[in-house]
Structure 1
Amino acid sequence: MSFMESIKWVMQYVRKHPWGSLFVFFTSIIEPILYMIPIFISADIVGILVDGGGWDDIWQSYQILILLASIQVVLFFASSFLNEVLAHRITTDMTYDLFESLQSRSLTYHNAKDTGDIMARATNDTRSVNMGLSPGVRMLLATAAIWAVAGWILYTVNPYLTVVMFVIFVVFMIMTFQYGIKIAPLSNQVLEELAVISSTTSDTLTGIRDIKAYTSQHIFKKNFAKQTYQQAATKEREGSLGAWFYPDLMVRFLVLSMVGYALYLTNQGDMTIEELVLITLALALVAGMSEEMNWIAFVSVGAFAAIERLHQFMTEPDPHIIDDGTVNFENLPASIEFDNVTFSYPNTKIPALDGVSFKIEDSQTLAIVGSPGSGKSTLTKLIQRLYLPQQGEVIVGNNPITAYTNESLRENIATVEQEVFLFNDTVQENIGFGKPGTPLENIVDVAKIAKSHAFIEEFEEGYQTIIGEDGVRLSGGQAQRISIARAILMNPEVLIFDDGASALDSKTEAEIQNAISDILRTRTTIITTHRLAIIAKADQILILEKGKMVGFGPHEELIQSNIFYRNLFEKHFELPPLVPRGD
């Protein structure tokens, strides 16, 4: 990713705010020019004093200084305030686009990314860009304007000094650029190390229960300390370079030399006291602003590093992205067919599903059984179009699954998974997640069906109870019942239970099954479970073993002819003799 491409990318955001950008640009230049006008007035006052002028003449000039000071205060406030507002709006736009980009990425992409790194880019990197825009850009423009006006002042007094100052300016900018090149790798390293710290923090907070359960706090504490000390050392190296900002030292030495030369000319009678004061004050202002270039260069390099990281991240290709279809999944039979489907996860040569073919009709229930790692959950993810098979085709409603729009397809598919994800929000908002704005009475109705209403009512704040991040304040069974209620509320055409009742006791699961039995009769239902009573009631049963389909059919047929299926039952039931297929 080239530097110029990143600059063009950030300029797209600047152009979204043309009037604010133009105002900040011009006021950043006008403001320092106004600082130069008092230099002329101060030189005039000195000249009046040297010539023996009266107080009336001085007071007139002093009144102009007071007026200019008032204008400067107002202009400084307006420029600083609008520059800050503009910077925040630009970085807010960036953060929003980053969030939108992440939502459009494929599940394969997210599986390969580190959450902590993403959080660091959304916070640390955008903050660095914000600092570069405000006050970095304004101060950079102000410095350039002061150099230009100071050069013009020197030209009116002594053209030779202007030539010297121009040479100093060119050398100063070259040295500042070289300084930026030296500090850039450290700035980028600081951002990367902050991302690592953010990742460790995220992992620690997410897995705090397991960390405490395994008494592993000391391991994470040691890793965190190592990472923070490493990042501090990098910051110290970066800071030491900033402290030795040699371009500023060079400017100060040469400015002092030029002032000395002006004093010599004044002593020889070739320069007036008024001109000496004018040159001295102008050069002092140049030296002061050159000192600011230390901070400006430091912030700008960090901002450019952050811009490149954000640009690279947001424009990174996603080869696994799933293009949106054009067909709406409406008024179509919710039949599901797998036609010789083979799927492998990235970076693995072992197929999660290998040549799987089956079909279930609309409103049928399919139970998927198999040992851990046999491909059950993978199959349900293909039905949701979270992944696409490398070979074969998934057909839903007599159309290839790729034909549907993402929105219409997923509005008609609800999933209850073993690992339930809940938001740090109220019970009501978690149940109504799929249908925002659902009235409370409807939320209560589905909660009753999912056998969660009773325990919700026991909470002090009932349905307005905040359940904590990932439902940390709920038991596993409670969390699954909230998830079941959420899925029922969606009123989907396809309902998937991916071991979605594993945390429930048999009695509660049976109660929920009975409560939703009428719903299931009018829905295509996919169930992955180890509960034999539920498996036997399914219309069709799919048996997977190491990604391959080793059986498909109703319970009565499989129990007599399929050895894999019989192995599930024979420890608990007396089975009829095995009947080979074709007999």
Structure 2
Amino acid sequence: MPKGEKYSYLKNKHLVKRCLSYFGPYKFKVFVSFVSMAVVAAATAATAYLIQPAMDDIFINKDREALMLVPIAFVMVMLIKGLFRFLQSYLMNSVGLLVLEQLRNDLFSKIICLPMDFFEESQVGMLMSRILNDVIEIRASLPSFIMMIREICTIICLIGLVFYRDAYLAFFAVLVLPLAIFPFFYFGKKLRKLGRKNQSKISDINAMLQESFSGVKVIKAFANEKHETDKFAIENNRLVSIAIKSVLNSELSSRIMEIVGAFGIGLVLWYGGSQVIDGHSTPGTFFSFIAALVMLYEPIKKINTSNHTIQRALAGAERVFEILDSPGINAEQGGEVELDPNFKKLEIKNVTFSYSSSEKPVLNNINLVVETGQKVAIVGPSGSGKTTLVNLIPRFYDAAQGDIVLNGKSVHEYSLNSLRLNIGMVSQETFLFNASVRDNISYVTLGSDLENVQECAKTAFAHEFVEKLPEGYETLVGERGVRLSGGQKQRLTIARALFKNPSLLILDEATSALDTEAERIVQMALENLMKDRTSIVIAHRLSTVLSADMIVVMEKGEIVSKGTHKELLKKCPLYTKLYNMQFQDNS
């Protein structure tokens, strides 16, 4: 076996094994489905068998006893076939839906626990497509596999019947079967490849739609609806082109099999008809043979259809298990130590960090110590690495070199839950879920007492406007809080941080996107939030951090100076420049 084919075989074997593993918990239902499948196959052959006594005994010999028994036998066979076919279809489809549920749960639970850099490299629409579309294809894999086995059993039963009726004639009939199998493999490979392309293109379109709808305000602001429509039309056309090629190959496969079958049946009609005319066979035997032969080619076509479905399922499985099983895609791992809620000390030691997409380090040899109760401000030009630095503390990213020590232990030693639950973050980019105000504030402990939620809202100066909402604290805020103003959203995120009650607080330019009035209210809320807490504040407006215990000045990923406001004005030219620029802007 060539190396490429061997790899493909092993890959297919792994994919089939992984798909079937999800059907393991439903072994009994699958077993009953297999038994039902065997009964359906036998009943199909029995239907063809009954044609001989119907023709010979009823229509030619005019046997009245046969007139009573054969119809009853036919009805009984069809009842049995219908009952067990229903049982098989119902069981396999219900199992398929349960597998679909489990696969989606596993895929979502894996993706949601992946590190931040995975999400930066992946499009949201693509991930949605993996969970919604690719998984659906896998759901159909076992029902189609069962159907394929059922039709194979049916073929075996019908071949047995045609050989029983006339072995010589049967030999000529099945002589063309190998030709009918050829399209099964030839077109199967093509459909697998097209299925892979189809899933990939659906993923691309999902990503495009998600991006377009999320950025609809920008699209409208630049009057660029026509460009986006044209871009979508191009991608949609590519998807349809792939689908048309799939239809073409599917139909060619089916039609070729039909033509091959027609040659076999034509040969039988010629030879079998001459046998009846010469008196070597009865019409009943011949028509029973023909019926079995016609029924024989139908399962072959169904096997072909099932193979198409299985190929699409394997294409979807490649994309799903690429995430579930890939050794290079691993969930975040924390330590086993539980972080003491009482903050003592934070030490950043010789930390260097680079994003996977960047050539140069974003942070270079950073050293910083934050003592309990301190308010530490980080300032510097845009792109100096301020946000990246604070994102390393809750381990949204991990440093390439150096270490971050919290309360005497490396942050890697703490469990991720305890580490992140004891660090509060309020950023410039506010995010609210499409849930009630109450659920957004109490997100850390959903369903909490309303009184506690209201207390946090009051401290964040949010209670007054929340009370005026149509349903108060039960009002849905819309996707990303679209029904609220910027200042209102920010106050709710502050209330959410208050409800979390962390000992270490990180504020990342929390007021930079607000107007003057909203900033004043939010700044008051932030002061309440920082009260009696150790705080690290990234500030664009220096006026908000002049009273900080220590101001850290960063430039190009390095700390260039530290000190109080007065000290920095004397010793740090960059800080003086930033201060003078803002002072002049405000004058």
Change (3 A) 1:476 1:329: same
Change (3 A) 1:49 1:515: closer
TM-score when normalising by structure 2: 0.92
Change (3 A) 1:303 1:252: farther
- AA aligned to 1:524 is T
Equivalent of 2:37 in 28, 35, 46: 28
In structure 1, C-alpha distance between the alignment counterparts of 2:241 and 2:29, rounded to whole Å: 39
Equivalent of 1:106 in 111, 115, 121: 115
Contact 1:109/1:318 (CA < 8 Å) preserved in 2?
Answer: no
Residue 18 of structure 1 corresponds to 27
- AA aligned to 1:186 is L
In structure 2, C-alpha distance between the alignment counterparts of 1:74 and 1:179, rounded to whole Å: 34
Cα drift, residue 547 of structure 1: 0.7
How does 1:535-554 map onto structure 2 within 5 Å? Answer: 535-554=545-564
In structure 2, C-alpha distance between the alignment counterparts of 1:298 and 1:286, rounded to whole Å: 19
Partner deviation per Cα, 1:364-423 (whole Å, 9 max, x = no partner): 221111111111100110011011111111111111111111111111112111111221
Equivalent of 1:261 in 260, 271, 285: 271
Aligned to 1:434, the other structure's residue is in SS state helix
In structure 1, C-alpha distance between the alignment counterparts of 2:112 and 2:467, rounded to whole Å: 35
Instruction: Please give the root-mean-square deviation of Cα atoms over the aligned residues, in Å.
Output: 2.2
Residue 355 of structure 2 corresponds to 345
Equivalent of 2:163 in 137, 155, 158: 155
Residue 181 of structure 2 corresponds to 173
Query: Which segment is superposed worse, 381-390 or 176-185?
Result: 176-185
Change (3 A) 1:330 1:362: same
Aligned to 1:17, the other structure's residue is in SS state helix
Aligned to 1:215, the other structure's residue is in SS state coil
Residue 3 of structure 2 corresponds to none
Cα drift, residue 515 of structure 1: 5.1
Contact 2:363/2:389 (CA < 8 Å) preserved in 1?
Answer: yes
Partner deviation per Cα, 1:210-245 (whole Å, 9 max, x = no partner): 111111111110000011112112211221222222
Residue 326 of structure 1 corresponds to 336
Equivalent of 2:126 in 77, 93, 117: 117
Partner deviation per Cα, 1:178-231 (whole Å, 9 max, x = no partner): 121133222221221111111111111111111111111111100000111121
Partner deviation per Cα, 1:264-319 (whole Å, 9 max, x = no partner): 22223322223212211111111223333443233222122111222223223437
In structure 2, C-alpha distance between the alignment counterparts of 1:131 and 1:260, rounded to whole Å: 41
Aligned to 1:121, the other structure's residue is in SS state helix
Residue 79 of structure 2 corresponds to 70
In structure 2, C-alpha distance between the alignment counterparts of 1:292 and 1:202, rounded to whole Å: 38
- In the alignment, is residue 143 of structure 1 matched against residue 151 of structure 2? yes
In structure 2, C-alpha distance between the alignment counterparts of 1:320 and 1:376, rounded to whole Å: 27
- In the alignment, is residue 356 of structure 1 matched against residue 349 of structure 2? no
Residue 219 of structure 1 corresponds to 227
In structure 2, C-alpha distance between the alignment counterparts of 1:344 and 1:195, rounded to whole Å: 29
Gaps of 5+ in 1: 575-583
Aligned to 1:336, the other structure's residue is in SS state strand
Aligned to 2:147, the other structure's residue is in SS state helix
In structure 2, C-alpha distance between the alignment counterparts of 1:363 and 1:161, rounded to whole Å: 96
Residue 190 of structure 2 corresponds to 182
Change (3 A) 1:523 1:261: farther
Query: Which segment is superposed worse, 396-405 or 56-65?
Result: 56-65
Residue 59 of structure 1 corresponds to 68
Partner deviation per Cα, 1:531-583 (whole Å, 9 max, x = no partner): 33321122221111111101122334323322222223335669xxxxxxxxx
Equivalent of 1:236 in 220, 240, 244: 244
Query: Which segment is superposed worse, 443-452 or 55-64?
Result: 55-64
Partner deviation per Cα, 1:239-271 (whole Å, 9 max, x = no partner): 122222213321232133224322222223322
Equivalent of 1:248 in 245, 248, 258: 258
Q: Identity, % of aligned pairs?
A: 26
Change (3 A) 1:236 1:571: closer
Contact 1:325/1:406 (CA < 8 Å) preserved in 2?
Answer: yes
Partner deviation per Cα, 1:425-459 (whole Å, 9 max, x = no partner): 22222222122121222211111211222222222
Change (3 A) 1:460 1:272: same
In structure 1, C-alpha distance between the alignment counterparts of 2:549 and 2:21, rounded to whole Å: 56
Residue 126 of structure 1 corresponds to 135
Aligned to 2:338, the other structure's residue is in SS state coil
Equivalent of 2:448 in 434, 438, 444: 438
Residue 425 of structure 1 corresponds to 435
- In the alignment, is residue 395 of structure 1 matched against residue 405 of structure 2? yes
In structure 2, C-alpha distance between the alignment counterparts of 1:383 and 1:554, rounded to whole Å: 23
In structure 2, C-alpha distance between the alignment counterparts of 1:130 and 1:263, rounded to whole Å: 46
Cα drift, residue 327 of structure 1: 0.7
Residue 194 of structure 1 corresponds to 202
Cα drift, residue 27 of structure 1: 1.6
Contact 1:252/1:287 (CA < 8 Å) preserved in 2?
Answer: no
Contact 1:542/1:552 (CA < 8 Å) preserved in 2?
Answer: yes
Contact 2:341/2:422 (CA < 8 Å) preserved in 1?
Answer: no
- In the alignment, is residue 46 of structure 1 matched against residue 84 of structure 2? no
Change (3 A) 1:571 1:188: closer
Residue 4 of structure 2 corresponds to none
In structure 1, C-alpha distance between the alignment counterparts of 2:97 and 2:402, rounded to whole Å: 49
Residue 580 of structure 1 corresponds to none
- AA aligned to 2:476 is I
Contact 1:339/1:358 (CA < 8 Å) preserved in 2?
Answer: yes
Partner deviation per Cα, 1:115-169 (whole Å, 9 max, x = no partner): 11111222221222233444x2343122211110011102212223444455444
Contact 1:334/1:524 (CA < 8 Å) preserved in 2?
Answer: no
Aligned to 1:16, the other structure's residue is in SS state helix
Number of residue pairs matched by the alignment: 573
Change (3 A) 1:398 1:164: farther
Change (3 A) 1:174 1:484: same
Contact 1:14/1:90 (CA < 8 Å) preserved in 2?
Answer: yes
How does 1:470-509 map onto structure 2 within 5 Å? Answer: 470-506=480-516, 508-509=518-519
How does 1:286-305 map onto structure 2 within 5 Å? Answer: 286-305=296-315
In structure 2, C-alpha distance between the alignment counterparts of 1:97 and 1:221, rounded to whole Å: 35
Residue 282 of structure 1 corresponds to 292
